[in-house]
């Protein structure tokens, strides 16, 4: 199979290229050549900017294209129009952020989407990200209605993750000592190793499937507390977890998501209640998160880990601030500070 990847050197795109090569497909990467251009010396690399110059795609044919870098409708439309006569399948990597109500008890592929907003909008922020992806999906449905495969992943983790949400906890537990964690019994989390997603997408393309799929994991129910215990175990069990009441954390300015990654406020916990039965029926498989954690720790700090995004643990809860909140919590509980210093 001849596979074109729009992107291909950052996180999921990188794992997609690996998975396709592992399955002996011919891979072509189209990107600007600015992010780790040394990767995949054995594959063809086409250079261009999808916002302004797609000329390198002219006169070529592929069995499928996987769009890992489509964020604004104009860019997605330009690629789809350029490739509509030369690809049999267009795979668009969307997001579960397209859904409109995360207070719902269950979110499947038929759940209501966010308003796509202004079709000309292109400023991507955390607030506009989901709406822009909705607009991109609608654009592709108009141009390639019968040849479109839309994948809506939840939070992805694994080697080369540029966001740092999983990495933060692994690094924090590896550092040891007393670790502040939110006390939210029963709060669930969903994480999917990007390598599992990549391998599954390649197999979907091989089968010629179309349609829309949520992609999340793990298969078994996982709580935030269970995940953090798993991370501590992977990091050598050097840390002591202190659970602090959520309302206390909020009163002290600790922000869900922003300060403590993977801790979501109650109103948004539907983000971790994504139904992905359709993907399971289509063959999505999950490795153990313990394996993911070990692999992330083994590669953490190597020169090839991306420096963009939120990979620096200091972007989350500062150690000095964490210590201050832990002290305030002990005071609130009437504990003797001298015995916990």
3-state SS track over the chain: CEEEEECCCCCHHHHHHHHHHHCCCEEEEEECCCCCCCCCCCCEEEECECCCECHHHCCCCEEEEEECCCCCHHHHHHHHHHHCCCEEEEEEECCHHHECCCCCCCECCCCCECCCCCCCCCCCCCCCHHHHHHHHHHHHHHHCCCCEEEEEECCEECCCCCCCHHHHHHHHHHHCEEEEEEECCCCECCCEEHHHHHHHHHHHHHHCCCEEEEECCCCCCCEHHHHHHHHHHHCCCCEEEEEEEHHHHHHCCCCECCCECCCCCHHHHHHHCECCHHHHHCCCCCCCHHHHHHHHHHHCCCCCCCCCCCCCHHHCCCHHHHHHHHHHHHHHHCCCHHHHC
Residue-range definition of the domain harbouring residue 230: 165-189+222-268+296-336
Considering the domain architecture, whether residues 8 and 132 belong to the same structural domain is answered as: yes
Considering the domain architecture, whether residues 32 and 110 belong to the same structural domain is answered as: yes
Considering the domain architecture, whether residues 306 and 248 belong to the same structural domain is answered as: yes
Considering the domain architecture, whether residues 233 and 254 belong to the same structural domain is answered as: yes
Whether residue 203 is contained in a domain is answered as: no
Considering the domain architecture, whether residues 175 and 112 belong to the same structural domain is answered as: no
The radius of gyration computed from the CA coordinates of the chain, to the nearest angstrom, equals 21
Q: What is the pLDDT, as a whole number, of residue 121?
A: 81
Considering the domain architecture, whether residues 176 and 28 belong to the same structural domain is answered as: no
Considering the domain architecture, whether residues 136 and 227 belong to the same structural domain is answered as: no
Q: What is the pLDDT, as a whole number, of residue 106?
A: 87
> Residue 253: which residues within 8 A CB-CB, separation 6 or more?
none
Whether residue 291 is contained in a domain is answered as: no
Q: What is the pLDDT, as a whole number, of residue 48?
A: 96
- pTM of the model as a whole: 0.93
Residue pLDDT, tens place only, 26-61: 999 999 999 899 999 999 999 999 999 999 999 999
> Residue 59: which residues within 8 A CB-CB, separation 6 or more?
none
Whether residue 84 is contained in a domain is answered as: yes
Considering the domain architecture, whether residues 177 and 102 belong to the same structural domain is answered as: no
Spatial strand order in the sheet of 211-215: 44-47, 26-31, 2-6, 62-67, 87-93, 148-153, 211-215
Considering the domain architecture, whether residues 19 and 134 belong to the same structural domain is answered as: yes
Chain position carrying tokens 């992805």: 156
Number of domains in the chain: 2
**CATH code of the domain in which 40 resides:** 3.40.50.720
Is 91:80 a contact under the CB 8 Å cutoff? no
Whether residue 276 is contained in a domain is answered as: no
Q: What is the pLDDT, as a whole number, of residue 302?
A: 55
Considering the domain architecture, whether residues 108 and 173 belong to the same structural domain is answered as: no
Residue that finishes a domain, picked among 153, 179, 197: 153
Q: What is the pLDDT, as a whole number, of residue 336?
A: 60
Whether the CA torsion 201, 205, 207, 210 is positive or negative: it is positive
Considering the domain architecture, whether residues 8 and 106 belong to the same structural domain is answered as: yes
Residue pLDDT, tens place only, 193-239: 999 999 999 999 999 999 999 999 999 999 999 999 999 999 999 89
Whether residue 275 is contained in a domain is answered as: no
Considering the domain architecture, whether residues 82 and 179 belong to the same structural domain is answered as: no
Q: What is the pLDDT, as a whole number, of residue 182?
A: 97
Angle between helices 129-143 and 73-83 (to 10 degrees): 20
Q: What is the pLDDT, as a whole number, of residue 301?
A: 60
The parts of the chain modelled with pLDDT lower than 70 are 301-314, 336-341
Whether residue 47 is contained in a domain is answered as: yes
């Amino acid at each position: 199979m001849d596979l074109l990847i729009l992107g291909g050197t950052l996180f999921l795109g990188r794992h997609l290229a690996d998975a396709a090569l592992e399955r002996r497909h011919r891979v072509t990467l189209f990107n600007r050549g600015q992010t780790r251009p040394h990767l995949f010396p054995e594959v063809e690399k086409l250079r261009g900017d999808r916002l302004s110059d797609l000329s390198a795609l002219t006169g070529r044919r592929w069995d499928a294209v996987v769009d890992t870098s489509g964020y604004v409708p104009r860019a997605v439309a330009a690629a789809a129009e350029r490739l509509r006569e030369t690809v049999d399948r267009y795979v668009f990597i969307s997001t579960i952020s397209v859904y409109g109500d995360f207070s719902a008890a269950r979110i499947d592929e038929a759940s209501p989407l966010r308003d796509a907003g202004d079709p000309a909008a292109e400023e991507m922020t955390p607030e506009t990200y989901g709406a822009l992806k909705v607009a991109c999906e609608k654009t592709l449905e108009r141009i390639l209605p019968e040849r479109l495969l839309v994948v809506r992943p939840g939070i992805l983790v694994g080697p080369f993750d540029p966001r740092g949400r999983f990495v933060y906890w692994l690094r924090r537990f590896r550092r040891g000592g007393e670790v502040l964690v939110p006390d939210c019994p029963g709060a669930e989390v969903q994480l999917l190793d990007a390598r599992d997603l990549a391998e599954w997408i390649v197999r979907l393309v091989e089968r010629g499937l179309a349609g829309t799929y949520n992609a999340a994991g793990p298969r078994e129910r996982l709580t935030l507390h269970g995940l953090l215990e798993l991370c501590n175990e992977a990091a050598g069990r050097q840390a002591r977890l202190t659970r602090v009441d959520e309302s206390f954390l909020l009163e002290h300015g600790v922000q869900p998501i922003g300060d403590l990654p993977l801790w979501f406020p109650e109103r948004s916990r539907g983000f971790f209640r994504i139904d992905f039965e359709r993907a399971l029926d289509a063959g999505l498989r999950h490795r153990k998160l313990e394996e993911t954690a070990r692999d992330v720790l083994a590669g953490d700090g190597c020169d090839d880990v991306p420096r963009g995004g939120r990979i620096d643990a200091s972007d989350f809860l500062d150690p000095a601030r964490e210590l201050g909140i832990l002290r305030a919590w002990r005071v609130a509980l009437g504990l003797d500070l001298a015995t916990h210093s």
